[in-house]
Amino acid sequence: MNAPWKPAGSDGRDPFHAYVCDDHSLDLLRAVVQDMGWPIEKVHKGGLRNAVQSLSMAPSPNVLFVDLSESGDPLNDINNLAEVCEPGTVVIASGQVNDVRLYRDLVASGIQDYLLKPMAADTLRDALAAAQAVFLAPRAESTDDRPHLMVTVIGTRGGVGASTVTTSLAYLSSTKAKRSTALLDLDVHFGTGALAMDLEPGRGLTDAVENPSRIDGLFIERAMVRASDTLALLSAEAPINQPLITDGSAYYQLEEELRSAFECTFVDLPRAMLVQHPHLVHESNLVVIVTEFTLASARDTIRILSWLKTNAPQSQVIVVANKAQAGIAEITRKDFEHSIERKIDSVLPYDAKVTAQAAKLGKTVADSGRSSKLGQSLVALHGHLVAVAEGDNAAGPAGGGKGGSLIGRLMDVKLALPRKGKAKFVPEAVAE
Ligand SMILES: Nc1ncnc2c1ncn2[C@@H]1O[C@H](COP(=O)(O)OP(=O)(O)O)[C@@H](O)[C@H]1O
Ligand SMILES: [Mg+2]
């Protein structure tokens, strides 16, 4: 019953079947199942034996509920069930026996959960939702032997659009590249990854930080929120009335687990976390620095590039200038590139209409704004990222450049800016 992940509904399987022994369970299941949008006619009267009989002749559902009350030897019967049940089905059992040994044995034989009768509606609902999440979550076995790709996105300053870029790149990875993709939003208090995709972040990430010892593959499967068959998200809206105490090991462990469960991971990393937890970029294959054409962003791009050179020498770096508006930039592209001593890889145009529309629809900009110039620039950026990751190295090593003091380089840029009272400054067009 435990088997590699398959997208739901792709092979004609029903979402849910239940086989229950008593009328109370039957009524309860019908009510909960209806709430979950599953067909109630798949809730059958009859226990485990009926389940075995029916499933030996018909395709197995994604989630199966079986009542063990009438079973004399539950463990043996569960093993019979495993023989007729197709791989991937997540099984929940219920019964009257309150014995932790039985529970452990059932879990060991592949049962996802065991609910004691009489069941409460909330417990049943939670168990079914968790089972569905387990069914939908990807497993470690990948059909593809490409190495895992971990991309960390860092904004040089708040509001430059790092989260907008992260959600869009993750979306494109899951749809265009069709890779099973995880998005880890490490802005645990104020992250917008879930909001951008109209999802509830849940408590998974907060729980992980508070309790790192709980983090394992199963925890990941349960804690992640699905945006689609190929995209899952781990984020939080941690309470802001008390600090979250962590040495960062939970974040690192999460990255490890995501690496084994998904083909690609996109980490939205608030820049303050670089200072606190530098090890979070140690395994990144790619770092995307999102910046904009301002003096402050130029300074911080230089600083972050230099920091990456020391702290993530294994990582390729891509510099993305977002919110570019021809004619109203603080610094021209040329001066910006001069000061950071490397080329900008991608320029994304300012487009408030497209980003507002995405926010309203609860979709990523790459999704809802696909036909806009911004949407197409994001597709091009994703293509560049894949090319760099696959060894077609256009970005060069982290940091790069010929050295010189930060102040010296910024002064060069400042000298290029017009002085107050002088003729009107006409910057170069910044868009590509
Ligand atoms: N290219 C763009 N054009 C216009 N607005 C943008 C663009 N990129 C991002 N934004 C907007 O800027 C705001 C901040 O973006 P966000 O991704 O949350 O930034 P960050 O994560 O860097 O703080 C959001 O309202 C977003 O919609
Ligand atoms: Mg952000």
Domain ranges of the chain: 16-136, 149-416
Residue 427 has pLDDT above 50, yes or no: no
To test ligand 1's pocket by mutation, which of 154, 156, 164, 354 has the most ligand atoms within 8 angstroms of CB?
164
- Ligand 1 mean position, distance from CA 287 (Å): 18
Q: Which residue has better confidence, 112 or 399? A: 112
**pLDDT confidence of residue 426:** 33
Tokens of 218: 């199963």
Burial 206-233 (b: 16+ CB within 10 A, else e): bbbbeebeebeeebbbbbbbbbebbbbb
Residue 57 has pLDDT above 80, yes or no: yes
Contact 216, 155 (CB under 8 A): no
d(CA 114, CA 127): 9
Tell me what the mean pLDDT of segment 116-129 comes to. 92
Residue 44 has pLDDT above 80, yes or no: yes
- Protein residue with least CA distance to atom 14, ligand 1: 159
Tokens of 327: 């004619």
Residue 149 has pLDDT above 60, yes or no: yes
Q: Which of 207, 24, 204, 13 is nearest to 115 (CA)?
A: 24
Q: How confident is the model at residue 138 (pLDDT cuts 50, 70, 90)?
A: low
Q: How many CB atoms lie within 10 A of CB 44?
A: 16
Secondary structure (3-state) at 3: coil
pLDDT in tens, 215-255: 888 888 888 999 998 999 999 999 899 888 888 889 999 99
Tell me what the mean pLDDT of segment 180-184 comes to. 96
Highest mean pLDDT among 92-101, 215-224, 306-315, 419-428: 306-315
**pLDDT confidence of residue 406:** 53
**pLDDT confidence of residue 393:** 45
Q: Is the CB of 348 under 6 A from ligand 1?
A: yes
d(CA 307, CA 406): 12
Residue 430 has pLDDT above 60, yes or no: no
Contact 54, 25 (CB under 8 A): no
**pLDDT confidence of residue 10:** 43
Rounded to 5°, the CA angle 360-137-271 comes to 55
pLDDT in tens, 315-330: 999 999 999 998 888 9
Phi, psi of 339 (to 5 degrees): -70, -35
Question: What whole-number percentage of the chain has pLDDT above 90?
Answer: 56
Q: Is the CB of 293 under 6 A from ligand 1?
A: no
Residue 341 has pLDDT above 90, yes or no: yes
* CATH topology agreement for domains 16-136 and 149-416: yes
Tell me what the mean pLDDT of segment 132-159 comes to. 80
pTM of the model: 0.65
Q: What is the mean pLDDT of the chain?
A: 85
d(CA 236, CA 228): 18
3-state helix, strand, coil in the chain (%, to 5): 45, 15, 40
Residue 29 has pLDDT above 70, yes or no: yes
Q: Which of 150, 166, 142, 137 is nearest to 226 (CA)?
A: 137
Q: Is the CB of 166 under 6 A from ligand 1?
A: no
Regarding the domain delimited by 16-136, which CATH topology (the fold level of the hierarchy) does it fall under? Answer: Rossmann fold (3.40.50)
Q: How many CB atoms lie within 10 A of CB 64?
A: 25
Q: Which residue has better confidence, 344 or 82? A: 344
**pLDDT confidence of residue 333:** 95
Contact 363, 197 (CB under 8 A): yes
d(CA 228, CA 224): 12
Regarding the domain delimited by 149-416, which CATH topology (the fold level of the hierarchy) does it fall under? Answer: Rossmann fold (3.40.50)
List, edge to edge, every strand of the sheet that includes 225-226.
Answer: 225-226, 231-234, 181-185, 264-268, 149-155, 286-291, 316-324, 346-349
Secondary structure (3-state) at 250: helix
